[in-house]
Amino acid sequence: GAGVSQSPRYKVAKRGQDVALRCDPISGHVSLFWYQQALGQGPEFLTYFQNEAQLDKSGLPSDRFFAERPEGSVSTLKIQRTQQEDSAVYLCASSLDMNTEAFFGQGTRLTVV
Amino acid sequence: SQKIEQNSEALNIQEGKTATLTCNYTNYSPAYLQWYRQDPGRGPVFLLLIRENEKEKRKERLKVTFDTTLKQSLFHITASQPADSATYLCALPPTDSWGKLQFGAGTQVVVTP
């Protein structure tokens, strides 16, 4: 595709529900990142993949957060037993390789009620 | 701890003037620094990357400087236009990074005709 695609664009979840957020990176991009952005703040790093390998998950807030990229392309960020503090915009970005410009998707706005 | 600071107050500027934004950082020794633009409801869009051995970089009406002694980057928009209204984010790779970025909170620019 022409850019990074994320789905859904908006997700409302009841507290305690599990959610799965999808990211389709730009074809051929080796690196894939997930970020969390709260209102009025910059994106906060969650996790990083190089191909299918998850090289850094230091930013994941708790063990309720899990990300995968099994075939080195599409990635899914899963949040189990959602809490109100999980409400945020979740951004996915991809790049040709690490330390090059990152291309961001439009994000998924998650609201936990 | 590593910290990135950008002016939290919105910058209101008249069309045609130059907007200057500041990004200060502490406890980093970044190999490069990036600037992104973010519009409401959209993901950040890459604008410029400047490396530690470059003092200045230009792209059309944009100019970025990088002073590793002062630990500061300045971002200039010359001949500003209403379409330049957005939030501008600076981003740095943290120490021992695998390519992830840490972002400042961003500065909102509002250009009025």
CB–CB of B101 and A45 under 8 A? yes
pLDDT per residue as tens digits for the range A46-77? 999 999 999 999 999 999 999 999 999 999 99
- So what's the pLDDT on residue B96? 64
- So what's the pLDDT on residue A2? 80
Closest CA to B91 of B11, B43, B32, B29: B32
- So what's the pLDDT on residue B100? 84
**Spans of chain B, pLDDT less than 50:** none
**pLDDT averaged per 10 residues, chain A (length 113):** 91 98 96 96 95 94 97 97 98 87 95 98
Q: How far apart are CA A54 and CA B98, in angstroms?
A: 11
Question: What phi, psi does B84 have (nearest 5°)?
Answer: -80, -10
Q: Any bridge partners for residue B108, and if so which? A: B87
Q: Tokens 């390519």 belong to which residue?
A: B99
Q: Are B15 and B112 a contacting pair, CB within 8 Å? A: yes
Collapsed DSSP state (helix, strand, coil) of residue B89 = strand
Closest CA to A98 of A60, A53, A37: A53
Q: How far apart are CA A27 and CA A94, in angstroms?
A: 9
CB–CB of A45 and B34 under 8 A? no
B106 touches chain A (CB under 8 A): yes
- So what's the pLDDT on residue B94? 79
Tokens of B72: 């500061």
- So what's the pLDDT on residue B76? 98
Q: Are A88 and A32 a contacting pair, CB within 8 Å? A: no
Cβ pairs A/B, distance under 8 A: 63
| C-alpha distances out from residue B45 to A15, A78, A111, B39, B56, Å | 32, 25, 24, 9, 20
CB–CB of A107 and B42 under 8 A? yes
Q: Which of A48, A105, A106 sits opposite B100 (nearest CB)?
A: A48
- So what's the pLDDT on residue A12? 98
